[in-house]
Amino acid sequence: MRWLFLFGISLWVASCGDADTPVDETPAGNGGKGDIIGDDDRRDEFSEDVSDALKKLGASTAMVIENAVLGEALDGAFTPASQLLGESYYMCPDETNWTQPVTGMCSAWLVAPDIIVTNGHCVTSQPDCDKKSFVFDYAKKSPDDTLSTIPQENVFACDQVLAWDYTSDCDIDFAVIKLDRPVEGREPLKVRQAGADLKGDSLVVIGHPFGIPRKYALKGEVLLDGANAFTTTHDIIGGNSGSAIFDAETGEVQGLVTCGGSNFEWEYYNEGWELETKTGKPCDSTCDDAGEYTDGTWEGQCVEGRRRACACDEGQLVWQTRPCLSFENDTEGQCTREYRTTEDACRTAPWLCAPALAQHTHHFAGYIGEWDVYTQADLAVLEAGAEQDLKITVPEGHAQALSVAVEISEPDYVIDGANIVWDLEATLVHPNGTEFPLSGQGLYYGGQTYEFSNVPTLQTQPFEVPFLISGAYGLEAGGEWTLKLKNAGTFYIPIKSWSIQVLERPEAEITVPQIACVGDCQSPYLGWPDPIIDTFEGEAVESNVEGVEGELALGWRAEVMDAEGLDYEVFKSRKSQTMAMTKGEFAIIKDFGSDLGDRTLTVDYRYDGIGWFQIWAGDHILFTKNNFSQETTTVTLPAGASNIRFVLGATNQSQAHELTLFSLSISPPAQE
């Protein structure tokens, strides 16, 4: 499975040069996108295949763009620093959308007049959000539309991150963001609410693959519907992160695209050759003293815009030339194509393709609505050891979500130039007397606004993403709230203000926050009262699977997933298990023989490669990593799975790819 995290990825940027004119509108057949599953079904705004109803939905979607790329407005318009898609990604000249501009980096969509939704990995914090904007109507409305400028009225800045979660790659990953002003003339999109079934028969993805003008991925089927997310065969790629996936019949958003897509495939560009010289020599000799016959591979660099190659033609060696691609001195005559696979391969062997993954809307739908902020300012200095109660009155209503922030002024003292660490004990008191103890550690600098949390694992921090108060949903919000503060340190703390940010709803519309899980979260098997731990310290056995050499820890087995792969090896050290390869895909598996549901799996690992490493439970893909990582990660195991699979894969054989497992543990099941 070649998962590509769906950022708008800039590989390389080269200067413009002559190239064959590519097809600009997405055709019905295979075209440039990765992963293309079956036919490339994306369409531009001007396509006859895009109905007026879909265009209306598209008008409420936006492109996320870096302010540095957007630049400064002049005469009511921005002129973004775009690059051609083909040159940004070293694409072969006949790849689809080669000449379209790469401008954005993610996708987003409107859910209220001034609120937008995207992925948490697209906007990672409030400071990050401040560096980005949201652009509506970045779409080709005719084949000749260059989109060289963006009307200022279509550009909206980030005001505040309201709710945010980034649990893990290809899992819970959303950001709910307040814009700097309401969006006029566009309707907020309807979102499937918690408890409503997925409508998967006529799904359409609308977004900005690669950060190019808006595209409509018209066809795709649901492959797997899990509790956290579902996978489909829609054609998506980096830049589609944050895209909405719609039910085309009702226009209701069914999911939020999070990841999918594949690595590029490199090939030597072999078009446009012209005969230069016949040598008269047989094909088993050399062209001249400068180089041996290489059967179409490349001789030297581009010279005066031409590349030479020695090739065999009708039994004799010839010199041939072709026009150079603008970037091929950097790529040694190669260009990229986006990976293509068949729909049947995705259905029968999903690890051979990279289907789009969309998280279910119930993870973030509860945070969509009108948020209000209530602030008390001009507060006093809190001396060492002092206590103070601060109060804010909130109008009537019920809280769906709530967060608390405290702004600290700059103190007028410095201690030997060192940072001052304050110890501020805080408790939020509901009007009915319910207390929420808050974390008050981690306050290092004045002149900052700090988010407080009542979750013990979340330390108070300068505002980056909101900490929503756990257990506050459904409470009557109206009345006088109290923030009880105690300075438990030795230096005074200058409190400038505090605020409550609350999403209020009628009591009948309050929803219970969803807890991330996989499968149906109900396991029929409630044995195994103790955790299962494997530190790989035991006996080693030789692999008995053809194509996989080396030793495995006792109780593990290997499986080849791509028979065309190279150098599959396993190594068992005293306290670890390593997998290695140069190309292909294979796995090591541990069978348990019983349902693993209602458990979590924690893995300590190191991955070094440019392909992919995945954790599977049964046929569920729970975790994917595409770049170097050394960490401990935890995933939830689905009901019904009875084995764990670690998958290592890569399409590029230029280096070794390795995964080392140091330990794993499986928690006891949840008890009824």
Percent of the chain with pLDDT over 90: 30
Tokens 């059967």, residue?
295
Mean pLDDT across 497-521: 68
pLDDT digits (tens, 9 = 90+) for 28-81: 222 223 467 778 889 999 999 999 999 999 999 999 999 999 999 899 999 999
- Please check whether residues 476 and 502 belong to one and the same domain: yes
Same domain, 436 and 505: yes
Domain-located, residue 380: yes
Which pLDDT score, from 0 to 100, does residue 184 have?
A: 95
| CA within 13 Å, CB half, 317 | 18
Q: Is residue 2 part of a domain?
A: no
In a domain? residue 522 = no
Contact 217, 31 (CB under 8 A): no
Residue tagged 């797997």 (tokens): 224
Beta strands in 378-419 (DSSP E): 381-382, 387-394, 398-408
CA distances from 236 to 244, 515, 592 (A): 12, 27, 36
Contact yes or no for 426/406 (Cβ under 8 A): yes
Residue 352 CB-half CA count within 13 A: 18
Query: ω before 619 within 30° of 0 (cis)?
Result: no
444 Ramachandran zone, left/alpha/beta (phi>0; psi -120 to 50): alpha
In a domain, 340, yes or no: no
Output DSSP code: residue 191: B
**DSSP calls for 269-308:** ---S-EEEEEEEEETTSEEETTEE--TT--EEEEETTEEE
Same domain, 283 and 257: no
Q: Sort 492 into a burial class: Cβ within 10 Å, 0-12 / 13-18 / 19+.
A: middle
Q: How do residues 40-50 score in pLDDT, each as one tens digit?
A: 889 999 999 99
> Where a domain ends, among 494, 509, 524?
509
The Cα–Cα gap between 458 and 454 comes to 8
Q: What is the pLDDT of residues 330-376, one digit of tens each?
A: 887 888 887 777 777 777 665 556 678 888 898 888 888 888 889 98
SS (H, E, C) 358-380: EEEHHHCHHHCCCEEEEEEECCC
149 and 216 share one domain: yes
Res. 452 pLDDT band, cuts 50 70 90: confident
**Do residues 35 and 111 lie in contact, with contact meaning Cβ atoms separated by under 8 Å?**
no
Q: What is the mean pLDDT of residues 633-659?
A: 82
pLDDT at residue 303 tops 70: yes
**Structural domain boundaries, residue 295:** 276-324
Residue tagged 């940004």 (tokens): 88
584 part of a folded domain: yes
671 is a domain residue: no
Task: Please indicate, yes or no, whether residues 480 and 551 belong to a single structural domain of this protein.
Answer: no
What confidence tens digit (pLDDT) does each residue in 571-599 have?
Answer: 888 778 999 998 899 999 988 766 677 67
Cis peptide before 225 (omega within 30 of 0): no
CATH number at residue 642: 2.60.120.260
Is the separation of the CB atoms in 205 and 239 below 8 Å?
Answer: no
Same domain, 105 and 252: yes
Q: Do residues 188 and 51 both lie within one domain?
A: yes
Rounded to an integer, what distance in angstroms lies between the CA atom of residue 665 and that of residue 507? 42
Average pLDDT on 436-458 reads 70
Could you tell me the two tokens for 453? 């949390």
What percent of the chain has a predicted confidence (pLDDT) above 70? 81
496: closest CA among 414, 383, 410, 374?
410
β-bridge mates for residue 551, sequence order: 542
pTM: 0.69
Beginning with the edge strand found earlier in the chain, give each strand of the sheet holding 387-394 in spatial order: 387-394, 479-487, 424-429, 435-438
Q: Using an 8 Å Cβ cutoff, are 647 and 561 in contact?
A: yes
